[in-house]
Amino acid sequence: MTINRRDFIKVLSFGAAAATGSNTLFGNSTISKTSKHTLSKDAVGILYDATLCIGCKACEVACKRVNGMPVENSEWEKMHGIEDAWDSGSDLSTKTLNKIKMYKHGSATVKNREKNGFSFIKRACMHCIEPACESACPVSGFTKDPKTGIVVWNESCCGCRYCEIACPYNIPRFEYDKAIPKVFKCEMCSHLVSVGGVPGCCDSCPSGASIFGKVDDILEEARKRIALKAGEEYAYPISTVHDKEKQIRPTEKYINYIYGENEAGGTQYIILSAVPFEILGLPKLPEKSAVSTSETIQHTIYKGLIAPIALLVGLAFSAHRTTRKHQLAEENTIHE
């Protein structure tokens, strides 16, 4: 089969027009909207208040305990034969799903101060409303629970590591040292939440820095806190947003912003702080998620398999024309 230059260009133009959703080919069709997740009224989340965190790392210990995660040791410790005596991981990893880090500046003498002060920050999965990890995964390796909104990893992973690249918060961790690798990240103790429990980090925090509750409730709690004046006393719940037992203490001067409420489409892990979020290592992100943009393009191009079908039809049409020309030429030769 041969296709002349003019027919080839026609086929490419037809396929390109189909891919871009040309109205001249398919009528007044509109760009399909992304399959955006909508949080249910029962969606849950965590409010982390950096002003209350004392850096005790009880949340790290509890996270390991309730999720059956192993102790992590540094390379120096391993080299000197010191293993399993204590946990000393320095960042999120395949063995550590929740990590407390510290920001300090200058003399670091005053807590919750940017200059010559310090602050703690807790890193864990943000449980995005529009998860980039879920969108990027070609084999549905991540699932967002329709009721709780918790994002979990499942065994269908193909090992492509697209989730690591796609996540704007740099959360998922891939097992590079295993023949059959897995991906690890905080799953908000979904196995406990599903039976009415509380995530280990919230249940173990002695200062109330991490509290659990429905997303609407923790957002309401966050708004109350940032509206307070510095030094004003407030009754802080300890492990869940509706705890009856509370600790009364003076408030810090909060940054007038709720991190996670709008970032990349919003998250279910909400953060408050007295120092700028950027210096705590949290990325500055647009309100619109990359997922909504990328999926709109993908859904437009592949809606109903329009693009590949259109291209196939174009090729078939061109092949038919070429074959018909050859048949006519052969018939003319025979008659002559």
Render pLDDT for 227-261 as a digit per residue (tens, 0 to 9).
999 999 999 999 999 999 899 999 999 999 999 99
Residues 100 and 207 occupy one common structural domain:
yes
Is 38 a member of any domain? no
**What does the alpha-carbon distance between residue 239 and residue 204 come to, in Å, rounded to a whole number?**
8
Residues 191 and 305 occupy one common structural domain:
no
- According to the model, what pLDDT value does residue 84 have? 72
Using 50, 70 and 90 to split pLDDT, how confident is the model at 332?
Answer: low
- Find the mean pLDDT for residues 133-159: 94
Average pLDDT score over the chain:
84
Residues 117 and 240 occupy one common structural domain:
yes
Residues 126 and 237 occupy one common structural domain:
yes
> Of residues 180 and 84, which shows the higher confidence score?
180
- According to the model, what pLDDT value does residue 305 have? 55
Residues 15 and 71 occupy one common structural domain:
no
- According to the model, what pLDDT value does residue 33 have? 34
Residues 242 and 199 occupy one common structural domain:
yes
Contact 252, 226 (CB under 8 A): no
Contact 52, 252 (CB under 8 A): no
Whether 317 has a pLDDT exceeding 90, the answer reads no
- According to the model, what pLDDT value does residue 156 have? 87
Is 96 a member of any domain? yes
- According to the model, what pLDDT value does residue 313 have? 64
For the ranges 114-123, 176-185, 197-206, 320-329, the lowest mean pLDDT is seen at 320-329
- Find the mean pLDDT for residues 123-134: 97
Residues 6+ apart with CB under 8 A from 248: 233, 234, 235, 236
What pTM was computed for the model? 0.77
Residues 137 and 249 occupy one common structural domain:
yes
**Residue 122 has which token pair?**
């807790």
- According to the model, what pLDDT value does residue 319 have? 59
- According to the model, what pLDDT value does residue 329 have? 56
Residues 212 and 312 occupy one common structural domain:
no
- Find the mean pLDDT for residues 123-143: 95
- According to the model, what pLDDT value does residue 110 have? 96
Q: What percent of the chain has pLDDT over 70?
A: 75
Residues 12 and 151 occupy one common structural domain:
no
In CATH, what number is assigned to the domain containing residue 89?
3.30.70.20
CA angle 127-276-111, nearest 5°?
105
Using 50, 70 and 90 to split pLDDT, how confident is the model at 14?
Answer: very low
Using 50, 70 and 90 to split pLDDT, how confident is the model at 23?
Answer: very low
Residues 105 and 15 occupy one common structural domain:
no
- According to the model, what pLDDT value does residue 16 have? 45
> Could you give the number of structural domains in the chain?
2
Rounded to 5 degrees, φ, ψ at 273 are -155, 160
Is 37 a member of any domain? no
> Of residues 57 and 85, which shows the higher confidence score?
57
What residue spans of 20-149 are helical by DSSP H?
23-26, 58-67, 75-79, 132-136
Residues 180 and 327 occupy one common structural domain:
no
Using 50, 70 and 90 to split pLDDT, how confident is the model at 325?
Answer: low
Is 36 a member of any domain? no
Is 324 a member of any domain? yes
Question: Cβ–Cβ contacts within 10 Å for residue 79, how many?
Answer: 9
Is 63 a member of any domain? yes
**What does the alpha-carbon distance between residue 131 and residue 106 come to, in Å, rounded to a whole number?**
37
Residues 137 and 271 occupy one common structural domain:
yes
Look up the domain containing 309 and give its range.
Answer: 5-30+293-335
> Of residues 290 and 167, which shows the higher confidence score?
167
Instruction: Please list the residues that pair with 48 across neighbouring strands.
Output: 210, 271
Is 331 a member of any domain? yes
Is 151 a member of any domain? yes
